[in-house]
Amino acid sequence: MSNTALSTSGLVARRTFERSDPDRLSPASEDFKAHLSALGLISLSAYKLWCRRSGFSMDRDKSQAERDSELAFARAAAASTDHDRSHAPRRADYIKRIAAGEFDGKPVTEFGSRVRKLFAEVDDVDGGRQALLRLLLQVEKYGNLLNNTIGYRGLGSTYRNQVFSGLAQLARHHQDWVHSPEEWRCATRKPMLQFRSLAAHLLERYSVPSSLMAAWFESDPKEAAVQQRWYKHIAAGQNIRTGHDLPFRLTKRAAHLFMTSRHWVTPLVMLRLAQINAMERHVSAMRAHAIASHDRIHGRINADFWTAIIHFLLNNPMLERSYIAPLVDFIHYTKFEKRRVPQPDGSVRIESPLHPNFSIKGRSIDKLVRLVDDWHEQLSGEEYDYVEEWQPSSLNKFELTEDNEELKARTQWTIQELCTSALLQLEGRMMHHCVGSYAKKCMAGEMSIWSLRSRKDEEEAEQFHVLTIAVDNKKRKVTQARGKFNLQPHGSRLSRKQRQTDSNYRVALRESARILALWRKREGLGYSSE
C-alpha cells in the first residue's frame, strides 16, 4: 500500500476513551509499530497527521477495534474510486459550464449564482479559477460542502462565514498546496469538519490550532489575508511569534499556549486568551474569556494600552466578572471616545475625549468601580433637548405569548429595537447600566440595541424591562445581553447593587435567556458571551 494512497485527508473527530480499558495498546508496543507499518507510515508524527487528515482521533492509546477501523478506512480509501452518495454528474457538469463562462450574464439557479460568485472572487488570482474548479468538483463528488452551512461559530451570519464561501479562500492559495485536491477524502459527514479536513490536506505539513480555521471565514478581507498568512506560516512548521502583523508581542509561553490550543474562538481572541493565561496561570476560564472576548481588548487598535488593562484586571481578581465589560467600556469612553455635544442652535459640536491622557497606573479598583457606577447613572439619567435618531436595522422585532410555569402566569414577551438616543437613555435609567453609550455606534449602523420586556397578561398595564441586548449588525451576533445593574441571565454571584433586584425579577431574567435564544435562532444571530 502506497503512502500516497494512505495520505487521504480528513479531520480529527475527537473522542475520549477510558485509559483503564484493558484493550488499550501502548504507542511504544510492537502492536502499535505493526499498525503503523500496515498503514504505510514510518513515525508517530506521521501517524498523528494521518489521523487528523482522515477524521480519527489523534490519541495514541487506542483499542484494537479502533485501529481496525483505521486500517479498514485506509484500505478502502486506497482502493475505492466510488463517489459520495450525493454526487450528481449533472451538477458537476453545471459547475464546469459556469467556470467556462457559458452562463455569464444569463439567469441561473440559486446554486449556480453562488458558484458564479465564487469564481468572481478568485478572478484576481493567477490560476485561481482552475484551482477553484478542481476544489468544487472534488467536494461535489466526495464531500458535503456545497450548501449554506455556517462556517465558524462566533463570526456571525455573513456571506463569507459559510463553508461554501471558504472554498474560494482556499483556492486563492493554490500555489501553496502541498497535496492535490483530487487525493482528498474524508471520513466525517459534517460540513465544517470536512472543510477543516480539506484545509489540512491542502496546506498543512504541521498541525494548526483550531482558532485559525476562522481565517477562511473572516468577513474583513484585510484581516482575513493576515490570518490566512498565519495559518500557512504555522502549517509550514513556523511559530506564531514570527507571524506577520501580530497585534501585540507574544511571550514564548503565550505562543506555546496559542500553538497548542484547541479552542474554537477567533484568532484575535485566542491570542489574548493565550496572553492572559501566560500572565496568570490560575485565572479561571470564564474570567479569561470575559476579558479576551471584549471587542476593545482583542481588537488591533491601541493593543498595547489594552495589555496594561489586562494586567490591571488580573491583579484584581475580586472584581465581579460582570463589571469587566462595563469597566472596559468606561475606560474606552474616557480615553478615546470623542464627544458629541448638542448646541443651542440644534447643531452638534465634536469635542475631544473626556480624559485623553487617562492611565491605569496607580488606580484603585474601588474608586474605578465607583467611577463606572457614576458614569452609568450619568448616562441613564441625562436628558438632552437634542434627540438623535437613526434608521432601524434589518432585524425583526419579536413577540411571544405563553403560559409560563416559572413566572406562574400567562406572559407576553417582546423584543423591540431602540432607535433614538432618548430611548437609550430611558432604557439605561430603567436598567441602571450604560446602554446610552452605544448611541454613536447605532447612528453609524454598526450596532443595534434591543429591549426585551415582559408583561403578565391582563395584570400589568405596562411592560416590564427585563434585558437589554446589543447586536453587532455587521457580524450579526449578540455582543451583550445585560439585565438591571449589568446582571447576566445566568449569573449567580451578585454585587451589592445587583442584590437590590427582587427574586421575581431574577426569575424573569433567567427566563429571558430562553426568549433571547428563540429570537436569535429566528434571525440567524450568533452570540459572543462575556
**Does residue 495 lie within any of the structural domains?**
yes
Is 411 found in the same domain as 507?
yes
pLDDT digits (tens, 9 = 90+) for 27-61: 556 777 778 777 777 677 778 777 876 777 777 77
Rounded percentage of the chain residues whose pLDDT exceeds 70: 87
Q: Which three cell numbers stand for residue 123?
A: 478572478
208 neighbors 228 (Cβ within 8 angstroms): no
pLDDT digits (tens, 9 = 90+) for 70-106: 887 777 665 544 445 566 788 899 999 999 999 888 8
**Does residue 220 lie within any of the structural domains?**
no
Phi, psi of 221 (to 5 degrees): -55, -40
**Does residue 512 lie within any of the structural domains?**
yes
The whole-number pLDDT of residue 308 equals 96
Q: Average the pLDDT over each of 33-37, 444-448, 501-505 and give the range with the smallest value.
A: 33-37
**Does residue 222 lie within any of the structural domains?**
no
The mean pLDDT value for 342-361 works out to 87
Residue 21: pLDDT band (50, 70, 90) is very low
Q: What is the DSSP string of 115-128?
A: HHHHHHHTTTSTTH
The whole-number pLDDT of residue 282 equals 86
Looking up cell 484547541 gives: 262
Is 268 found in the same domain as 194?
no
**Does residue 242 lie within any of the structural domains?**
no
d(CA 75, CA 324): 54
pLDDT reading at 15 higher than 60:
no
**Does residue 238 lie within any of the structural domains?**
no
Is 426 found in the same domain as 365?
no
Q: Which three cell numbers stand for residue 490?
A: 445566568
The whole-number pLDDT of residue 85 equals 52
E strand residue ranges, 297-371:
339-342, 348-351
E strand residue ranges, 181-236:
none
CA angle 13, 14, 18 (to 5 degrees): 135
The mean pLDDT value for 10-33 works out to 45
Is 486 found in the same domain as 420?
yes
Is 313 found in the same domain as 260?
yes
Number of domains the chain contains: 4
Which residue from 380, 413, 427 is spatially nearest to 508, judged by alpha carbons? 413
Q: Which amino acid is at 491?
A: G
H-assigned helices in 143-179:
163-171
The whole-number pLDDT of residue 25 equals 42
Is 406 found in the same domain as 518?
yes
3-state SS, residue 471 = strand
Is 121 found in the same domain as 180?
yes
Q: Which three cell numbers stand for residue 395?
A: 432585524
The whole-number pLDDT of residue 16 equals 32
The whole-number pLDDT of residue 497 equals 60
Q: Which amino acid is at 347?
A: S
Say which DSSP state 133 is in. Answer: H
**Does residue 393 lie within any of the structural domains?**
no
Q: pTM of the full predicted structure?
A: 0.68
The mean pLDDT value for 388-400 works out to 93
| Cα-Cα-Cα-Cα dihedral sign, residues 419, 463, 320, 469 | negative
Give the pairing of strands 348-351 and 398-404.
unpaired
Q: What is the DSSP string of 429-457?
A: HHHTS-GGGGHHHHHTTSEEEEEEEEEET
pLDDT digits (tens, 9 = 90+) for 239-275: 999 999 999 999 999 999 999 988 889 999 999 999 9
d(CA 278, CA 139): 40
Highest mean pLDDT among 320-324, 453-457, 517-521: 517-521
Tally Cβ neighbours within 10 Å of residue 319: 19
Q: Which three cell numbers stand for residue 316?
A: 484584581
Residue that finishes a domain, picked among 79, 101, 133:
79
E strand residue ranges, 313-393:
339-342, 348-351
Residue 375: pLDDT band (50, 70, 90) is confident
The whole-number pLDDT of residue 19 equals 32
d(CA 253, CA 251): 5
Is 368 found in the same domain as 259?
yes
Q: Which amino acid is at 378?
A: Q
| Cα-Cα-Cα-Cα dihedral sign, residues 321, 406, 480, 366 | negative
Residue that finishes a domain, picked among 203, 220, 240:
203
Is 257 found in the same domain as 154?
no
Q: Which amino acid is at 272?
A: R
Is 373 found in the same domain as 261?
yes
CB hemisphere CA count around 511 (13 angstroms): 25
pLDDT digits (tens, 9 = 90+) for 171-196: 999 999 999 999 998 877 888 889 99
Q: Which amino acid is at 509?
A: L
The mean pLDDT value for 381-389 works out to 63
The whole-number pLDDT of residue 28 equals 54
The whole-number pLDDT of residue 5 equals 34
Is 106 found in the same domain as 72?
no
Say which DSSP state 101 is in. Answer: T
Which residue from 153, 135, 146 is spatially nearest to 198, judged by alpha carbons? 135
Which residue from 340, 345, 354, 346 is spatially nearest to 439, judged by alpha carbons? 340
Is 35 found in the same domain as 134?
no
Rounded percentage of the chain residues whose pLDDT exceeds 90: 46
Query: Which residues touch 315 (CB under 8 Å, ≥6 apart)?
Result: none
Q: Which amino acid is at 376?
A: H
The mean pLDDT value for 184-209 works out to 90
Domain membership of residue 298 as a residue range: 252-381
**Does residue 112 lie within any of the structural domains?**
yes
